[in-house]
Structure 1
């Protein structure tokens, strides 16, 4: 038998390993997708999707990304008109962030604070400035994850049901933050 060069031996070995690896992968893949054999196992036949009874579901209203962006932009513009550096967050009914705009020069803490204020406002369907007063009677409210009971968050409602929250953070006071958040909510009425 002829002696193979070092390069040929490495190439041949790599090719052999690739073939063995591909065969093993194919076997594992085939076994992972094949149902286990056995007389006791039966697979139900696929049928049409089942409908639920009428009245067993609810429908909720959500802001579009365009509406959320319009509200956030209006809040940021109101703050910038007064030379305030803020961050604005708009969250949906479930507290998920739809859009966040961090204004030029806004502090690093303002990002999370704006989101938490928006979440708090939509969760309780009330401005956070009102909710901060409730802490005197129930101080453990502040322990609820994701909430922030400082002025600057307002709910957005549709037919008196909360559908979003707008939070603003970074101005020198919660009163100013809330003023800008209200400007964002007002932009949705147009």
Structure 2
């Protein structure tokens, strides 16, 4: 087939059927999907249903982008109300940045620091001020890549499990940074 040439509908159906047959023949397993109510959607291949029956699937809870922006904005608003110039970062459960808001006049170092504080808070499901105290008994914790054991990070939880972290950096003290991170968490009602 030449590049750019489109297949007819019947040719696409046959190609798709051949692909499905090849996948079924090689024993590839697909995961079941779930609808918005959490009800399992029937699998088209028996292997998928078999995988689900054996507990090979898991579910996790994540913040929406709207919630992440809401939490970040609440933290930034709290800092601005106090006349502080900060950066706020929100990361997901895996430490991936969802949103970062750099306030007017925030220092250049605050961007990376806010992300690292958010990651540290979600990774250990604890405020970074508490984690900083642990360095006295375990100083090697600071060597873990991507972490920053300074006050200013707070976890966001759902049903007791961490789902995100909010990190703030740029205020003159970690206590203020953490106060603003907690304002972000509070805005999410968690």
Q: Deviation at 1:57?
A: 1.8
Give the equivalent residue in structure 1 for 2:150.
150
Superposition TM-score, scaled by structure 1 size = 0.75
Give the equivalent residue in structure 2 for 1:7.
none
Q: CA RMSD in A?
A: 1.6
CA radius of gyration, larger in = 1
Give the equivalent residue in structure 1 for 2:27.
none
Whole-angstrom CA distance in 1 between matches of 2:167 and 2:76: 11
Whole-angstrom CA distance in 1 between matches of 2:82 and 2:136: 32
Give the equivalent residue in structure 2 for 1:183.
183
Whole-angstrom CA distance in 2 between matches of 1:118 and 1:87: 11
Runs of 4+ aligned residues of structure 1 deviating over 6 Å after TM superposition are none
Whole-angstrom CA distance in 2 between matches of 1:45 and 1:186: 51
Aligned-partner SS, 1:100: strand
Is the aligned partner of 1:98 residue 2:112? no
Aligned-partner SS, 1:53: helix
Q: Deviation at 1:72?
A: 0.2
Is the aligned partner of 1:73 residue 2:73? yes
Structure 2 gaps, min length 5: 4-20, 25-43
Q: Deviation at 1:45?
A: 2.3
Give the equivalent residue in structure 2 for 1:45.
22
Aligned-partner SS, 2:58: coil
Whole-angstrom CA distance in 2 between matches of 1:182 and 1:168: 9
What are the Cα deviations for residues 92-130 of structure 1, in whole angstroms up to 9, with x where unaligned? 000000000000000000000000000000000000000
Give the equivalent residue in structure 2 for 1:108.
108
Whole-angstrom CA distance in 1 between matches of 2:69 and 2:159: 21
